[in-house]
Amino acid sequence: MWFYLVTLMVLYQLLRWYRERQVVSHLQDKHVFITGCDSGFGNLLARQLDRRGMRVLAACLTENGAEELRSKTSDRLETVILDVTKTESIVAATQWVKERVGNKGLWGLVNNAGVFPPFAYMEWLKPEDYMGAFRVNLFGLIQVTLSMLPLVRKARGRIVNVSSVLGRIAFCSGFYSCSKYGVEAFSDVLRCEIQDFGVKVSIIEPGSFKTVMTNADLILERSKKVWEAVPEHVKEAYGQQFFDDFCSNSTQKFGMCSADLSPVTDCMEHALTSRHPRTRYSVGWDAQLIFIPLSYLPRSLTDYIFRSRCKPAQAV
């Protein structure tokens, strides 16, 4: 019995390996639009696809970021300034893309732009602290996708949305997780709605990687500013010692992030170039070996595992 089960699993993996190695033809003629190319995953992916000969349309938030990227790539790569929180900027970028892809349409759309709200308990944050995460990570992603969708549909192309392992299981940075849960839901619904047009939608779920968003010193600085503005009755409920322990634990967590971003961009590239891309790519040893398996456990158990061992001053 076990022999047949093992044989079946081996055959399935071999078939999957064979299917996923099949590459789309004429990649040099295909355009890919990537958001958030100033740094991090977007910047590396733009350079990676450029080296492969694809026609990269890179959206950067700043002109400095765009200039730096152009200096490291070939003349094929073109840049545009895009703020995904502004409708007029999205409309202008869509028209810019349309002029470059022509009747071929847009083969790939990679929604990579993202921000990380201050790392803090949700009760400590004001609306202005966390609304930016929704405007960029979720609402901006949705608006860019729907604006570019006719161009992608024309090419029967690909949409790649960058989520997070925290979009599968939430245990810290609550509002960031909320925005990424929304990305997961939007991507799943979109995939069902447009699959009859030949468009494929993939989700990238990175674990812990060292980017501008996860710089430990920057995160610690922002957390301290948030704590300073917390109302006194909330500070009394948690206590200064609780906050100090929270900062210490946070620094350790973000200090363990991997500096090698290529596993994430390799998955993005596969989603764009493989004839049979995956629906989801969970990237990073912590995502695959810890967080994704934990997401299938009873919630009461994961709550116990993830809850802080530091007790607030007024804890029961």
Active site residues: 176
Structural tokens at position 314: 């007024």
Q: Residue 159's beta-bridge partner residues?
A: 109, 201
Q: 138: left (phi > 0), else alpha (psi -120 to 50), else beta?
A: alpha
Give the separation between CA 158 and CA 187, rounded to whole angstroms: 12
Give the separation between CA 53 and CA 73, rounded to whole angstroms: 11
Amino acid at 10: V
Q: What are phi and psi of 58, to 5 degrees?
A: -100, 125
Structural tokens at position 278: 């995956």
Beta strands in 156-312 (DSSP E): 158-162, 200-206, 280-283
Give the separation between CA 12 and CA 29, rounded to whole angstroms: 33
